[in-house]
Amino acid sequence: MNPSTVKSILRKIADKELSVGEGLKALQSLTYEDIDFAKIDHNRTARIGMPEVIFAPGKTRDQVIEIFDKMAEIGSDILVSRADKKIYANLKRKHKDIKYYEAARMIVKKGKRRKPVYHGLVAVVTGGTSDIPVAEEAAVTIEAFGGVVERIFDVGVAGIHRLLSARKNMQKASVVIVVAGMEGALPSVVGGLVSAPVIAVPTSIGYGASFGGLAALLAMLNSCAPGVTVVNIDNGFGAAMAALKIIRKSNSGEP
């Protein structure tokens, strides 16, 4: 629980900006809310800077909607990942201000709380057009939580001149997320061109011997370029959160 947030709530109660009941509800929301099938971590923003994200696969439509409603009650930013249009259509009946990003398969609702504005560009680079859904998952996540993104798509090593023409834009970035399938060579090339941290995202795109992204994952883990880190296959969201933490830390001025 963030002490400064608690003090702010108590001050609002003392100044009669909040009723005792409203203040109690706000304080309770600073920990987690148990709704039987889920324990919603309302305090995650205070701890790590970004709220809990709803991962839709494996949950029923009703479960996603109930979690969404509870988070909306306290004014949180809400992101639903790997969501389909049916979930979006159901949520849209009650929450008119939500937006669906089809390529990213994400639903976004902007909360009432002021989001930090991060200074520093994140470049999201793809090897091919087929990698765009994973890249968009990363890009939409970053933008939803206050970051700035430049998309550089379809610049894979099969046409290296395309990548080199985007070199200046990549060099402006504070973090570069590189999304690629097939043989997964692109992050190593980018890692040799930029001074920023490179987060590599292997995708499940490729022919049979790519083994659903395993070949790209192993290639990225064996990168000879310094400063390349790797997240799991198709994990654009994980790459985005890592990038946001890097940007957030650099913005804070903390050692």
- Domains by residue range for the chain, with CATH: 13-109 (no CATH), 121-250 (3.40.50.1970)
Q: Which helix (H) or strand (E) holds 122?
A: strand 121-126
The secondary structure of 37-96 as a DSSP string is S-EE-TTHHHHHSS---EE-TTS-HHHHHHHHHHHHHTT--EEEES--HHHHHHHHTT-T
Query: What is the pTM assigned to this prediction?
Result: 0.81
pLDDT of residue 255: 47
pLDDT of residue 8: 76
pLDDT of residue 46: 67
Question: Residue for token digits 């702010």?
Answer: 8
pLDDT of residue 241: 93
* Digitized pLDDT (tens) for each residue of the chain, 255 residues in all: 455 667 777 888 888 887 888 777 776 666 777 778 888 877 777 677 777 889 999 999 999 999 998 888 877 788 999 999 999 999 998 888 899 999 999 999 887 655 556 678 999 999 999 999 999 999 999 998 888 999 999 998 888 899 999 899 999 999 999 999 998 999 999 999 999 999 999 999 989 888 999 999 999 999 999 889 999 999 999 999 999 989 887 665 554
pLDDT of residue 104: 93
Residue 148 Cα to chain centre, angstroms: 12
